[in-house]
Amino acid sequence: MNGHVDLGIGAEPPSARRQDAYFASLMAPPGQRPRLALVWELEDRLATILPHAEEAHIPLIKLAWWRDTLAELGKGRHAGEPLLERIQSDLPTGTYPLLAGLAEAHMDRIEHGDDIPAVRALLIAGSHICGVSPDWIPDKTSDAQRVTVPKAVRPFSAVLAAAPVRDRLPTRRHVAMLAHNLTGRMTLRAGMLG
């Protein structure tokens, strides 16, 4: 791991969530920043796989490929997909099944229109990378459920805490993330990923 955090800045300006992920990563210990950025990059990739009215099965096939490939990642090198190569070289092997679960949760998002399982899967993966047991995450996350996030996970979960103000100015989102980092309070609700 080289300590580099990819901002995703290229020809287009980065999305609000990508900007938030970078800002929140600054609150994390330097050694965790690239790992947390990789999980958010995967989340961004999975979230862009959207359902289409004419071909409803295509997004599910793409997500199933991600799920199956992530689940098998520990069995050998995966060439051809740069994100998977970076995940394989920079994240612990125990994270791969959790990331496969994230892809599976996105399949549920497409089939049932519910992103709360994906929020839960994302928090479980982030907790694992931060070295915290995911016991603090409710098993059955209902809409608008309040949780207190462990301190070590807050730099990761701050991006989700800023979701209610995602369409606002960056300063407003930064204040929401800083408040979350201090208190750990967050309400899990539908629409946090969108």
Average pLDDT score over the chain: 84
**Averaged pLDDT, 84-105:** 93
| Residue type, position 166, single letter | R
pLDDT of residue 194: 62
Coil/strand/helix, residue 85: helix
Residue 166 has pLDDT above 60, yes or no: yes
Tell me, yes or no, whether 4 lies in a domain.
Answer: no
pLDDT of residue 1: 46
Q: 46-82: per-residue pLDDT in tens?
A: 988 887 767 778 999 999 999 999 999 888 767 688 9
How far apart, in whole angstroms, are the C-alpha atoms of residue 50 and residue 39? 19
Tell me, yes or no, whether 126 lies in a domain.
Answer: yes
Domain range enclosing 39: 16-188
The tally of domains found in the chain comes to: 1
CB 118 within 8 A of CB 108: yes
Tell me, yes or no, whether 33 lies in a domain.
Answer: yes
Tell me, yes or no, whether 10 lies in a domain.
Answer: no
Q: 100-137: per-residue pLDDT in tens?
A: 999 999 998 888 888 888 888 999 999 999 999 999 98
Residues 6+ apart with CB under 8 A from 147: 136, 137, 138, 185, 186, 187, 188
As a whole number of angstroms, the longest Cα–Cα distance in the chain is 46
Residue 162 has pLDDT above 90, yes or no: no
pLDDT bin (cut points 50, 70, 90) of residue 161 is confident
Closest by CA position to 84, among listed 101, 106, 66, 62: 66
How far apart, in whole angstroms, are the C-alpha atoms of residue 64 and residue 138? 25
pLDDT of residue 115: 82
* Residue 54 CB coordination number (10 Å): 5
Tell me, yes or no, whether 52 lies in a domain.
Answer: yes
pLDDT of residue 143: 64
